[in-house]
Amino acid sequence: METNSNVLFDWQGNQYQGIISKEYDNSVLIEVSNPDVELKDKYLGRIIISKKDIKKQK
């Protein structure tokens, strides 16, 4: 995965999309494009997700 790539991911039973803003060894920091209230309030619209749990958006 590359920085600024559009990706899809599942979190707590919901599907989200976002843009990779930083890459780590086994995970990425994602700026979520469609955050729900919890993601917006608790995580400020950003979340770290394992690389194996994301899919590149077409």
What string of pLDDT tens digits covers the 58 residues of the chain? 788 999 999 999 999 999 999 999 999 999 999 999 999 999 999 999 999 999 987 7
What are the residue ranges spanned by the domains of the chain? 6-56
What is the token pair recorded at 26? 């086994």
pTM of the full structure: 0.88
Give bridge partners of residue 54 from the DSSP assignment.
9
The Cα 15–Cα 17 span in angstroms is 7
What pLDDT shows up at residue 2?
84
- What is the topology classification, in CATH, of domain 6-56? SH3 type barrels. (2.30.30)
Return the SS3 of 46.
strand
What pLDDT shows up at residue 21?
96
